A and B are shown apart, each in its own frame.
Chain A
């Protein structure tokens, strides 16, 4: 499968994500430049973490107007898979591809630490390799990760099972203490109603190699690969054949 990692001025997890996709998950991966209109025929777009455009105005607010994001929006509307990590999640919210908004962390601090998140819905394109209720240990690193949505919107999100991850303790229990940034309903990650777009605050690319303390992030990339392969079996065969000649 071919993944595209978007680079904005201020992206800083772009190469980590690219490395994990290419070297750990063994997928084809390319970089996508924010000023271009070209998605280079990728099967999945990943919006990496960082501080796009300095996060001026609001986190992710300026990135949404970049030329490439207009293509990403059309790609997502057409059913293309889009994964937004941290700042990427914030951009997806600002862009309106996901519901809600981010507020500053409840303690007003930049939080950089490992957290536990519980898989709330294992029947998504981004979690199908996970077990029901599985607890993943993945780091966060953000200032604005306090998820908010108006009451009516939250009700809608819950009804359509759009909450994919919630902050929890090591045993999988949702506690106020485990909800480090104060997110509404302890939400750490949501998908759109159609199911092809996911945003999450934790960084799976920082938890994909044992050397870095956790491999739990691989579950998300592995799920994504499974769903992409399931959708386009013909293409998978072509990729395999090509690899065979290398």
Chain B
């Protein structure tokens, strides 16, 4: 089973990298962009794990290692049948 975990800064934490990207987009004329938050993506391949097991395991891994709970939050999803990246 493949899962994807998205780690990003909490809303209360300033994201200077996201701000810089936003400023660049504004400079390029994309005035509609109100805000940009930058994050990290992890894809984990879990061997022999059931959905239920993944629901325990993935948040635990995200909390303990992938994200720093003081400044970051995370979301995750199970990737369904998509092996390759989109063209």
Contacts and interface: CB of A to CB of B under 8 A. Distances in A.
A106 B16 contact: yes
A125 interface: no
Contacts of B13: 103, 148
A58 B12 contact: no
Interface size class of B (residues with CB under 8 A): 10 to 19
A208 B74 CA distance: 43
B65 A150 contact: no
B70 A149 contact: yes
B17 A108 contact: yes
Nearest to A151: B12
Contact of B12 (A57, A65, A105, A150): A150
A94 B68 contact: yes
Contacts of A108: 16-17, 20
Interface in B52-72: 65-66, 68, 70-71
B39 to A, nearest CB: 12
A26 B39 CA distance: 46
A101 B17 CA distance: 17
Given A57-B65, A61-B65, A103 B16 contact: yes
A107 B16 CA distance: 8
Contacts of A94: 68
19 contacts: A57-B66, A58-B68, A61-B65, A61-B68, A65-B65, A94-B68, A100-B70, A101-B68, A101-B70, A103-B14, A103-B71, A104-B17, A106-B16, A108-B20, A146-B16, A148-B13, A148-B71, A150-B12, A182-B16
Contacts of B12: 150
Interface string B5-19: 000000011101100
A106 B15 CA distance: 9
Interface string A136-161: 00000000001011100000000000
Nearest to A65: B65
The 3 closest A-B pairs by CB, nearest first: A101-B70, A101-B71, A101-B68
A107 B17 CA distance: 9
A144 to B, nearest CB: 11
Nearest to A105: B16
Contacts of A146: 16
